[in-house]
Structure 1
Amino acid sequence: MEFRIAADHPSLPGHFPGRPVVPGVVVLDRVLDAIETGHGPLNGLRLPQVKFAQPLLPEQTARIELDGAAPRWRFRVLRGDTLLASGEVVADAPA
């Protein structure tokens, strides 16, 4: 799944003034959207492991790669071949 955060996204002002960076929570929200797109709504989500390697800037295109199946997925967020974030999502059960 590819995504891009628009330069006028409401999370960007103040994060950081003069050089906006997409907040990690916005990137993770896109990861959860990708999982729920394939598996439906999920309950009790946990992210026991997350690592941010590089920043995502507004208007850059990134893609999410998922590996695994309910209730546990590993994810990678990439911009081209550059790893931006990786980690694991665990769900209790389908909603």
Structure 2
Amino acid sequence: MKLTNDMFTIARLDEARHAADIRLNADHLIYRAHFPGQPITPGVCIIKIILELAERFLTTPLRLQQVKNLKFIQPLSPVRHPEATVLFDHLDLTDGTVKLRGSVIHGEIVFTKFSLIARLDAIV
């Protein structure tokens, strides 16, 4: 299930910096359950957003293989911070393996730091 154009939209892709400005949809069903009145983006959804954006930059489907390091520093709320930037410091495709490292930020606020490994996914 894709979250793009449902839970979030892409406001801007910066190919040169491997950065994407996104806008969270505070009316999405997941936020009614997580948590009513004080919604935050679930960690699994943050990982899915990162993978979907990496797929856009690499123009190929990916499947998560390993979470090497994942730090949730601040809650990502669609109400308090409906806009965020996913910045890939490292986005490398070698022999069918993709190494992803970066952060989810808004200005000086760091929400998440990540280091993930994905594989090319032939099944869409």
TM-score (norm 2): 0.68
2:106 aligned residue: 79
1:15-30 matches, within 5 Å, as 15-30=34-49
- The one of 66, 72, 77 equivalent to 1:46 is 66
**RMSD (CA atoms):** 1.6
Specify the SS of the correspondent of 1:13. helix
Specify the SS of the correspondent of 2:57. helix
> Within 1, Cα distance between the matches of 2:62 and 2:46?
18
The residue type equivalent to 1:47 in the other structure is V
> Within 2, Cα distance between the matches of 1:3 and 1:77?
10
Specify the SS of the correspondent of 1:38. helix
Q: How far 1:12 moved relative to its partner?
A: 0.6
Q: Is the 8 A contact 1:65 1:77 kept in 2?
A: yes
Matched residue count:
95
Judged with a 3 Å threshold, the aligned counterparts in structure 2 of structure 1 residues 44 and 86 are, in CA distance, closer, same or farther, namely: closer
TM-score (norm 1): 0.86
Q: Is the 8 A contact 1:48 1:89 kept in 2?
A: yes
Higher strand content, 1 or 2: 2
2:86 aligned residue: 64
Instruction: Report percent identity of matched pairs.
Output: 31
> Within 2, Cα distance between the matches of 1:41 and 1:85?
23
Q: Which runs of 5+ in 1 are unaligned?
A: none
- The runs of at least 4 consecutive aligned structure 1 residues that moved more than 6 Å come to none
- The one of 5, 8, 13 equivalent to 2:27 is 8
Q: Which has the higher contact order (CA 8 A, sep 6+)?
A: 1
